[in-house]
Structure 1
Amino acid sequence: MALDWLLQLASAALKLFIHPIFYFSFILAFIVGMFRVTRERKDFSTRIYDIYQEIRFILPSSLAIGAILSMITIAAGLALPSGLLNFIAAVLIIFSIGGFFLLSPAWTMGAAYGLFVLSEWFDYPFIPYGNLHLQAILTVLSIVTALLVIAEGVLIRKRGHQGTSPRIETSKRGLKTAVHLARRLWLVPVFLPVPSSRPLEPFMDWWPVIDTGAVSYSFVLFPFLIGFSMTVRSTLPSLAVKSTGKSIMIAGVLTLFIAASSYWIWQLSAVAVLFVVLARLAIMLRHYNYEKHRPYFFTTQSKGVIIAGVLPASPAQKMRLDIGEIITKVNGVQVSSEPEFYKALQINGAYCKLEVIGTNDQLRFVQGSIYANDHHELGLIFAPEEKEYMDDSIFTE
């Protein structure tokens, strides 16, 4: 039995490389990278990250998440019909047209669930599932949705804040300022049992936990796409993104409890999916409303210049300068604008000493060498030097 299971899993893993979603994810990330580079060059006259930045994040961090989810789906036998998985793949591709933001499992899996239910409600079953139990399929689908939302939250919290891209934005008062765009695409391969004519001996009498009515099963390694896009204006990108990721994780866990309860009351599967859709929407609106009435973070400082971006492999990165830090002195000279910064930098063409206020509000001293071929001086991106914008509502209660 063990050998048969291993062969099935190995075969499913190899078939991942012929799944259209696998290659589509890399093409999509490459296209988004092209547009990002174009925007960065327009805003800052240089690219921050190369065109392959989005591609680098697709798999490494998500493979471990996919492995954990696979252990759960295999152990519990969370089976979905292949026809439904093909429909989910189509939903993922269609939703990707709207950007990474629409690739949250709350939207994609919620849409798949809703359309699946409506097709049965209106007696138009265009998603084939044979003679399987519809109620059991809906229960499994809601549980898988909850697991993917938890995975989304973990990925956002752990990886979503890395490599955010600065951009120039014009405020409501017509002033230019820097904001940060956190945008990621992850491919999460998950092993799922699917009803099949090929016999696979269960490892326990109770497997699968939720009986869909299938006689035998095989495995597929399905590549779920999880996307994330968020613009951060009023705080450090890492703080906002991590907070959002934590909230999504909590919403996913609560959804999982409701979805698991649908094992006894199948209608709760619909409640679980509706809950996660509304929760994800509430998280998005909370971030929007929070930033709506707060000042921009990357604005002109009274003392020093604030770092809006750091070029990879630059002297600034080697000196461990970070986004959101404020440089107050360069080679002993007080600076309050970008021209002053570069003028003070020229005092010593081969070496520089900086006084920096870190994101923890602590003063620290940084020094490093500058070489003739170093790109864009130190490799720092500064916010536009315009008056800070604040909403009048901040001062009125």
Structure 2
Amino acid sequence: MVQEWLLELLAGFGKLFIHPVFYFSFLLAFVVGMFRVTRERKDFHTRVYDIYQEIRYILPSSLFIGLLLSIAAIASGLTLPLELLNFIAAVTIILSVGGFRLLSPAWTIGLSLLIFAVSEKTGYTFIPYDGLSLSKILMTMAVLLALLLITEGLLMFKRGWQGTSPRLAESPRGLNVGVQFAQRLWLVPVFLVLPAGDLTSPWPWWPVISIGAETYAFIWFPFLVGFAQLIKSTLPELAVKATGKNIITVGVITLLLAVAAYWVPLLAVASAAFAFISRIWISRRHYAYERNRHYFFTPQPKGVMILGILPHTPAKKMDLKIGEIIYKVNNMEVNTYTEFYEALQKNAAYCKLEVVDVNSQIRFVQGSLYEGEHHGLGLILAEEEKGFVAEGS
């Protein structure tokens, strides 16, 4: 029995690498990276991150959560027909036309569940499930939706605010102002049980969410989870973490509704509709909040504000942060890009900065400069006449 399980798990692991969604995720991240680099060059005449930035985040952050979800899925025997999993993958690929913005599980899995439920209700069945329990299939989809929605919120809270892309936008007064664009794609591989194969149930209670099958197989299925959020009125960390918390809350409520569907099957559809609508509400609420607030990244009356920091530069090594304001460079007060550049040239090998951080606390940073360093310190700064410019460009 143990050997059979190990072999089946190994076979399920191998299925991840032959699934089209696995490779599609990297292609999608590459294409989105190209558009981002084009936008950064248009706004600042330099790219902030290279074209592979989005690819780097696809797996490392999500593997551990995917492992936890896999343990829960195997222990409870979350079971779905392969045809239905492939339908979810197809919906995901279709929604990815808009980039990462529509890849929340609330929309990819939620929409799949609603389409499947409506098709069964109206008699237009297009996904075979061989007489398995429809109510249990819908419940399993709802539970999976909720778990992945919680995963989305956790990943946003932990990682979603890192590595945001600076952009230029036009204010109502026609001035160039800075904004931040947070976007991320994660591939969350989850072990699921297929209702066909050579395995038999090892325990009387497995799978917990039974759909009538007697033999089973495993598949490590790749789910795509993504988001995109424009931030103008505050720091990316604050905005993305707030959105992540809201999504976690919606995910928990969705999970409670999905579990309750064990006794009231209609709640499976209700949970998907709730998640779908709530995720739209979260996005619209952020948009409405931002629309009525003042821009955060604007030229300052005193000092110059940091909108972007290029990686692998002295600014990054000195641990400067976006949103901080540089008051002095080499003991010289700076209020414009020109003054900043002139003060930096005062000492071509070393610089000392007086910085006001995002908590309005003054701190002093210093570091060495080396000949050939890209764009001097590697900052994107506010300039009254030019909007935001790459320092040194």
Q: Where does residue 273 of structure 1 map in the other structure?
A: 272
Deviation at 1:385, TM superposition (A): 2.4
Aligned equivalents of 1:274 and 1:118: distance in 2? Answer: 12
Aligned residues of 1:119 and 1:125 also touching (Cα < 8 A): yes
Match of 1:314, as an amino acid?
A: T
Deviation for aligned residue 1:386: 5.7
- Asked whether the 8 Å contact 2:329–2:353 carries over to 1, the reply is yes
Cα shift readout 1:342-373 (whole Å, capped 9, x = no counterpart) = 11111111111100001121100011111111
Amino acid paired to 1:89: A
2: distance between equivalents of 1:128 and 1:172?
Answer: 54
- TM-score where L is the length of structure 2: 0.97
Q: For 1:294, what is the secondary structure of its paired residue?
A: coil
Letter in 1 for 2:151: A
Amino acid corresponding to residue 369 of structure 1 in structure 2: S
Match of 2:254, SS state, is helix
User: Which residue does 2:199 correspond to in 1?
Assistant: 200
| CA separation of 1:247 and 1:336: change in aligned 2, threshold 3 A | same
Match for residue 29 of structure 2? 29
Once the two structures are superposed, what CA deviation does each residue of 1:123-178 show, in whole Å capped at 9, x if it has no partner? 11111111111111001110000001000001111110110000111123221111
Query: Does the CA contact (< 8 Å) of 2:157 and 2:244 recur in 1?
Result: yes
Compare 322-331 and 169-178 and name the one that shifted more. 169-178
Give the 5 Å matches for 1:230-269.
230-269=229-268
Which letter maps to 1:148?
A: L
Q: Contact (CA 8 Å) 1:139, 1:262: kept in 2 or not?
A: yes
Residue 109 (str. 1) matches residue 84 (str. 2): no
Secondary structure, in 3 states, of the residue corresponding to 2:80?
Answer: coil
Q: What are the equivalent positions in structure 2 for 1:140-151 lying under 5 Å apart?
A: 140-151=140-151
How far did 1:201 drift? 2.4
Give the share of equivalent positions with the same residue, in percent: 59
Moved more, 228-237 or 273-282: 273-282
Aligned to 2:170: 170
Supply the distance in 2 between the matched residues of 1:28 and 1:199 (Cα, whole angstroms).
35
> Within 5 Å, which residues of 2 pair with 1:195-234?
195-196=195-196, 198-234=197-233
Q: CA separation in 1, counterparts of 2:244 and 2:5? A: 35
Report the equivalent of 2:391: none
Structure 2 distance, partners of 1:383, 1:276, is: 40
Is 1:96 aligned to residue 96 of structure 2? Answer: yes
Tell me the distance in 2 between the aligned counterparts of 1:317 and 1:235: 21
Hey, what does 2:14 align to over in structure 1? 14
Following TM superposition, by how much is the alpha carbon of 1:66 offset from its aligned partner in structure 2, in angstroms?
0.6
Matches for 1:345-356 after TM superposition, within 5 Å: 345-356=344-355
Counterpart contact for 2:336–2:383, Cα < 8 Å: no
CA contact (8 A) 2:76 2:207 kept: yes
Q: Is the 8 A contact 1:177 1:384 kept in 2?
A: no
Structure 1 window deviating more from structure 2 (379-388 vs 258-267): it is 379-388
Task: Give the residue type in structure 2 aligned to 1:347.
Answer: K
Q: Tell me the SS of whatever aligns to 1:199.
A: strand
Kindly indicate whether the alpha-carbon contact (under 8 Å) linking 2:132 and 2:213 is maintained by their aligned counterparts in 1: yes
Partner residue of 2:43?
43
Deviations 1:182-203 (A, max 9, x none): 010110000000111x231222
Match of 1:391 in 2: none
> Structure 2 matches for 1:309-388, cutoff 5 A?
309-385=308-384
CA contact 1:164–1:237 (8 Å) conserved in 2: yes
Name the structure 2 match of 1:392: none
SS of equivalent residue, structure 2 residue 200: coil
Q: 1:218 to 1:199 in 2, by over 3 A?
A: same
| Consecutive aligned runs of 4 or more in structure 1 exceeding 4 Å deviation | none
Q: How does 1:145-164 map to 2 (within 5 A)?
A: 145-164=145-164
SS at 1:183's partner residue?
A: strand
Give the stretch that moved more between structures: 258-267 or 285-294: 285-294
Counterpart of 1:190? 190
Q: Which residue of 1 aligns with 2:305?
A: 306
3-state DSSP of counterpart to 1:97: helix
Task: Give a deviation string over 1:7-36, Cα, whole Å, max 9, x none.
Answer: 111111112111000000001100111111
Change (3 A) 1:353 1:167: same
Cα deviation for residue 387 of structure 1 reads 11
Stretches of structure 1 that go unaligned for 5 or more consecutive residues are 389-397
Question: 2:161 and 2:232 mapped to 1: Cα distance?
Answer: 14
CA distance in 1, matches of 2:261, 2:145: 13
What secondary structure is seen at the aligned counterpart in 2 of 1:383? strand
Query: For residue 291 of structure 1, what is the aligned residue in structure 2?
Result: 290
* Residue-pair matches, total: 387
2: distance between equivalents of 1:265 and 1:297?
A: 48
In the alignment, is the contact (CA less than 8 A) between 2:88 and 2:109 conserved in 1?
A: yes
For the Cα contact (< 8 Å) 1:299–1:387, is it kept in 2? no
Task: Give the corresponding residue for 2:390.
Answer: none
**Secondary structure of 1:368 counterpart:** strand
